[in-house]
Chain A
């Protein structure tokens, strides 16, 4: 993995080089790092222009008034925090991200175990079928879900009716709509957890399980004392990754409910879109999306730590 311990090409050579070659080797090394830098230049420019610069520009924008004529300091943030709608947004974003990630991780773990139980030859076709939700572009599959939740033609309501239940206004009532957005996200994200955990399960050495059985461990003990500790790092990385992506999700809520009913399903991204792009208040929209930053930074820090740790484990 990218542990950064790789030795640059040609860097080994000087060790055996004689002193008289020092000048030319020095030139070679300089030439090498110039070439290296030039190869990275497109990447640096791209990231500087469309990621780093916009990120700082967002901070600047968030401190302007609506017409972008005057500097208002942190007023936009203070204004948002006082608004009831925005308090709902904060609550819903956290609820959406945490519930969805926990469910995805649990289901992914269960399915990965089931997959691990069946013989290797059959796994491929099952895996292919289970990955379908994740392969279809999210914006398009959310449309299908929307259609299934449709109030008048709802396919789900038809099934409920068959069993004698009343119609459910899937996307029309706050808490049900919230649950629906979470269900769609879980449906979409579980396959990813499944393949990550399956790969991790396969990397747990069989001897550990054999040793545990000899010591008289049952299935539950094996799970808690062998499987989970061995997978701890990969679980942490996937959960944090998924937390970032789910927290910043836009497609599902935008298509399914556009934030309604009564702004109860808005998350940061959709609210920022509504305020910033649709209502044209760019500074306020920028402030909304900047509220995501603390949590993202927190998660990113731990992801990075986990990945570095894992690279070291693999390298060792």
Chain B
């Protein structure tokens, strides 16, 4: 009898202790959700306001009456204007071409170099990997003035193709760095077996390393894409006519004429221009985050 009551009391005590712990956890959990919610709201204010403005007509924007944070008579006229606006089409086209070529060139260069640096090695390859990393730490704002002279000397000022020469310098060092990491983590038995079977280095790279290190390649590709899609300083410094511009510079210099700000159109253009990165991140975020945290990068 007494034993059972003791048991019950003990159980009750344990239960109450457990439930208070449980309650504490619940509070911590809900507190976290609420705080995160506040941060998300703050973080999403600019994109939200961009969306609202892009749906307004010029008349509604300049009327300045009532709450600017909501749209009263939503219209797609800004988007329609941009889609049919030849300059904007040119910017978009230029951005797509430059980005695609930059991504391909950067990935070819960095995958080849990373394979060589991670697995083959030659005299000075250790120094080279270190200097690749250091190169990554040199910001474009340190180099754009001498590059202005260099681009001028090769006659490519105001020529969108100069970006294809310059953008890889932004992407290649980091892409090489993460690819070295991924390649080094591949077990050596794999390529030794292939070597014994008589495969050449190129075959090992194409048939073994690239498929196995695919997550790394995806992460590096997204990085190269992000960098060349969003770059602003080089195109601003080297391009000055509308037919040569890319999106980042084109929106600013073409839709802002003197003191006339067509904010509805500017915001719609920002949305259209941010669409490709957003879509890519929506699907491939995990790869990118994994690659990034492995490579300890910048932001």
Contact = CB atoms under 8 A, between A and B. Distances in A.
A50 B169 contact: yes
A244 B118 CA distance: 27
Nearest to B134: A300
Contacts of A286: 145-146
A46 B145 contact: no
Interface stretch (B11-19, B32-40, B81-89): B32-40
A145 B46 contact: yes
Contacts of B233: 250-251, 269, 273
A147 B263 contact: yes
B270 A43 contact: no
A282 B148 contact: yes
B119 A8 contact: yes
Contacts of B49: 144, 147-148, 155
A254 B61 CA distance: 25
B65 to A, nearest CB: 11
A9 B201 contact: yes
Nearest to B167: A50
Interface string A69-83: 000000000000000
B75 interface: no
B43 A143 contact: no
A132 B47 contact: yes
A225 interface: no
Contacts of A192: 298-299
B267 A9 contact: no
A133 interface: yes
How many chain B residues sit at the interface, stated as a range, is 35 or more
Contacts of B251: 140, 143
Contact of B46 (A6, A37, A107, A187): A187
Contacts of B116: 35-37, 39-40
B5 to A, nearest CB: 31
Nearest to A3: B184
A195 interface: yes
Given A6-B184, A36-B121, A137-B230, A54 B135 contact: no
A25 interface: no
Contact of B298 (A8, A155, A158, A244): A244
B133 A307 contact: yes
Contact of A51 (B61, B138, B285): B138
Contact of A144 (B43, B226, B267): B267
A18 interface: no
Given A241-B299, A272-B145, A250 B112 contact: no
B117 A40 contact: yes
A9 B195 contact: yes
A285 B42 CA distance: 37
A1 interface: yes
B125 interface: yes
A204 interface: no
A238 B35 CA distance: 24
Given A9-B204, A51-B138, A138 B68 contact: no
A32 interface: yes
Contact of A61 (B132, B145, B282): B145
A39 B112 contact: yes
A139 B232 contact: yes
Contact of A241 (B44, B169, B247, B298): B298
Contacts of B294: 1
A181 to B, nearest CB: 14
B279 to A, nearest CB: 10
A155 B69 contact: yes
B172 interface: yes
17 contacts: A2-B117, A9-B195, A32-B122, A47-B169, A51-B143, A57-B149, A117-B29, A130-B39, A144-B50, A195-B293, A268-B141, A273-B141, A277-B237, A286-B146, A289-B141, A289-B143, A290-B142
Interface of A: 1-4, 6-12, 32-37, 39-40, 42-44, 46-47, 50-51, 53-55, 57-58, 61, 104, 107, 110-111, 114-115, 117-118, 126-141, 143-145, 147-148, 150, 152-153, 155, 158, 187, 189-193, 195-196, 199, 234, 237-238, 241-242, 244-245, 247-251, 254-255, 268-269, 272-273, 276-277, 282, 285-286, 289-290, 292-293, 296, 299-300, 303-304, 307, 310
Given A57-B149, A58-B146, A137-B274, 19 more contacts: A2-B180, A6-B184, A39-B201, A40-B116, A43-B109, A46-B109, A50-B169, A58-B142, A130-B36, A133-B47, A141-B47, A143-B270, A144-B267, A189-B299, A241-B137, A242-B298, A247-B139, A248-B140, A250-B233
